[in-house]
Amino acid sequence: MMAAVRPVIVAGNWKMHTTPGDAGELAAAIAALIDEPSVTRVICPPFVALAAVGEALAGSGIEVGAQDVHHEVSGPFTGEISAPMLQGLATWVICGHSERRRDACETDERIGRKVARALEHGLRPILAVGERLEEREAGAAERVVRVQLEGALAAGDIEASDRLVIAYEPVWAIGTGRTAHGSDAAAMAELIRSTLAEAGWGSDAGAVPVLYGGSVTAANIGEFLSQPALDGALVGGASLKPDEMAGIVARAALTARARQAATTGARRSA
């Protein structure tokens, strides 16, 4: 039986930008330019703009994601948002973004529990992993990513799931003017899947989409999507610019259609 082709995914992380008043307008402007059903498209606005963005994207085929979720379902956690609270507002959620690890001191244990809560409540998690500059320069990049992934899987008791997506985000390439090479990111994607396989996922590990998330732009996305091991991007600042998002999604659509055509051809010749 032939393995299913992995989806090509472009997820925009708006971070702490936009208000409920202007988020819907921006989402609508982006939606008008990224009508590419072959690509799974997700926009992750701030919590307060989820409803406005959801309304603006209704009927477009573009999904809505949250930027974080709490590791408990409910409780005395002032200012936090739980997975049940997101139901009806989002279908995706980012867990473990490097800025959350840095600013909120999130641990692999806590991030793993967030992923588990998301899966339990029908949200599709994007688990972000990646190394800092000093870790890469010390030759520890692969060890850091492996430990982050293993720690999250163990803490959340996460078994093989066709809903998990992983984003490799080299922290040293985010907002610094430095970028990773496509081959480096592809090698890390292979490491991620081998780590999943070793954690008991077996052949299911090969079906897990891995996105690149290090200062993605329309100008550099092609280098990453030319790598068969990579399946799209977690886009930061460029996701706030309609023309940039249009360029990124257009390039992603070329990859998606090429993969589908290759799969169809292989099935016909089988």
Looking up residue 162, the CATH number of its domain turns out to be: 3.20.20.70
24: in domain: no
161: in domain: yes
Q: Which residue, among 193, 202, 133, 218, has the nearest Cα to 169 in the 3D structure?
A: 133
Range(s) of the domain holding residue 171: 67-72+83-239
Catalytic residues: 97, 169
157: in domain: yes
Does 39 have pLDDT greater than 60?
yes
For residue 266, what pLDDT is reported?
A: 67
125, 112 Cβ separation under 8 angstroms: no
The pTM of the whole model exceeds 0.85: yes
The alpha carbon of residue 83 and the mean position of all alpha carbons in its chain are separated, in whole angstroms, by 17
Least confident of 81-85, 128-132, 160-164: 160-164
26, 18 Cβ separation under 8 angstroms: yes
- Residue 191 is classified by DSSP as H
Q: What is the pLDDT of the chain when averaged over all its residues? A: 94
113: in domain: yes
- Which 3 state secondary structure label does DSSP give 251? helix
Query: How many domains does the structure of the chain reveal?
Result: 1
Does 116 have pLDDT greater than 70?
yes
Give just the sign of the alpha carbon dihedral 266, 227, 63, 218: negative
45: in domain: no
For residue 2, what pLDDT is reported?
A: 42
For residue 176, what pLDDT is reported?
A: 76
**In the predicted model, what is the mean pLDDT of residues 81-103?**
97
CA 176 vs CA 44, 94, 103, 129, 221: distances in Å: 22, 22, 17, 18, 17
